[in-house]
Amino acid sequence: MASVSNSCPFSSEMCEETLERKNGEGRCVSKNEARRVHRYEKIIAARRAKRKEKKRNRKARLAQSKLFNGSRENAHSDVVRLSKRLEKEAIQKRLLEARGTTPRVCIDLGLTDLMSDKVKMAVLICVTASFQELNKLSSQLRRLYGSNRHSSKPLHLYFTNFAPSCRLYRMCVMKNEGFRNYMVEMTSENHAELFSRDSLVYLSPDAPESLPGTPLDPSKVYVIGGLVDETVHKLVSLERAQSEGVRSARTYPNTNEVT
């Protein structure tokens, strides 16, 4: 009986690789069968390669999508930053244009010297003021600046009697971000030293006269007393105006006044 290797038209290596396993018996396949097996193996290999290629393409598309979305987010962030920068520039321009063309308002932060000892103990401005009181006033100054900053017709603001060594100043720097960059004229000088007394109008609820019901006069400098707390201290601002020899006025009319 001839051996398998002698009867197989292919090499022994090919026969070993192309043996069909049917019913547990091994036999050398025919040439056509070998071609079919070879085609089948090529098809299987091609399918596997195609699946791998699709997988690579999916990963590439996913990476590209993430990159695109990230670019869109970055572009959106750039637009937001540009918008904020333009808004900030517009606000700064408005505030700069207000200087010299709009009414000036001074916040007098140096009332302590004119108060009685009893009032000093209650108000405690820049000397022995408690943390809560200083924090309250620093918040009031921040709100004032924020309101003026976003106004379509901002005023020219001054913080007078406001030395950097003052506890209130240090509190404002600590509590209000960017306080040193506020577009406000901050000075340790008194308003009476900065402006002529004829131009000053000290606003006081105890003043005998009221401001006219017309827009503020841009040639005047309106002074507001800065107090730490919200307690009403009678005559403090009026006495301040009288001691400096400047005009005082109320912001509201007296109900007894004849109109």
> Looking at the predicted structure, is the pLDDT value of residue 240 above 60?
yes
Q: What is the mean pLDDT of residues 86-114?
A: 79
* Per-range mean pLDDT, top range of 12-21, 74-83, 162-171, 205-214: 162-171
> Looking at the predicted structure, is the pLDDT value of residue 105 above 80?
yes
Residue 71 Cα to chain centre, angstroms = 22
Look up residue 181 and give its DSSP letter: G
Provide the pLDDT for residue 1: 45
> Looking at the predicted structure, is the pLDDT value of residue 120 above 50?
no
Residue 126: partners with Cβ closer than 8 Å, 6 or more residues away: 109, 110, 112, 166, 167, 168, 169
> Looking at the predicted structure, is the pLDDT value of residue 100 above 80?
no
Provide the pLDDT for residue 210: 84
Tell the residue number behind the tokens 């036999």, with chain if given. 27
Q: How far apart are CA 152 and CA 148, in angstroms?
A: 8
Q: Would you place residue 80 in the very low, low, confident or very high pLDDT band (cuts 50, 70, 90)?
A: low
Tokens of 210: 């009221």
Domains in the chain and their CATH numbers? 100-253 (3.40.1280.30)
- In Å, how far are 4, 96, 140, 200, 256 from 146, measured between CA atoms? 100, 15, 10, 24, 36
Provide the pLDDT for residue 103: 86
Q: How far apart are CA 105 and CA 87, in angstroms?
A: 24
pLDDT one-digit tens code per residue, 38-65 = 888 888 888 888 888 888 888 888 877 7
> Where is pLDDT greater, at 32 or 242?
242
**CB atoms closer than 10 angstroms to residue 14:** 14
**CB atoms closer than 10 angstroms to residue 59:** 10
Q: What is the mean pLDDT of residues 123-128?
A: 45
3-state secondary structure of 89: helix
| Mean of pLDDT over the chain | 75
For the entire predicted model, the pTM comes to 0.59
Look up residue 148 and give its DSSP letter: H
**Across the beta sheet with 247-249, what order do the strands follow?**
185-186, 156-160, 104-108, 221-225, 200-203, 247-249
Q: What is the mean pLDDT of residues 217-221?
A: 88
Share of the chain above pLDDT 90, in %: 21
Q: What is the mean pLDDT of residues 215-236?
A: 76
Question: Measuring CA to CA, which residue among 105, 112, 116, 113 is closest to residue 141?
Answer: 105
Provide the pLDDT for residue 233: 63
Provide the pLDDT for residue 167: 85
**CB atoms closer than 10 angstroms to residue 150:** 11
Q: What is the mean pLDDT of residues 112-121?
A: 45
Beta strands in the chain (DSSP E): 20-22, 25-27, 104-108, 156-160, 185-186, 200-203, 221-225, 247-249
**Taking a C-beta distance cutoff of 8 angstroms, is the pair 164, 203 a contact?**
no
**Taking a C-beta distance cutoff of 8 angstroms, is the pair 240, 203 a contact?**
no
Provide the pLDDT for residue 161: 92
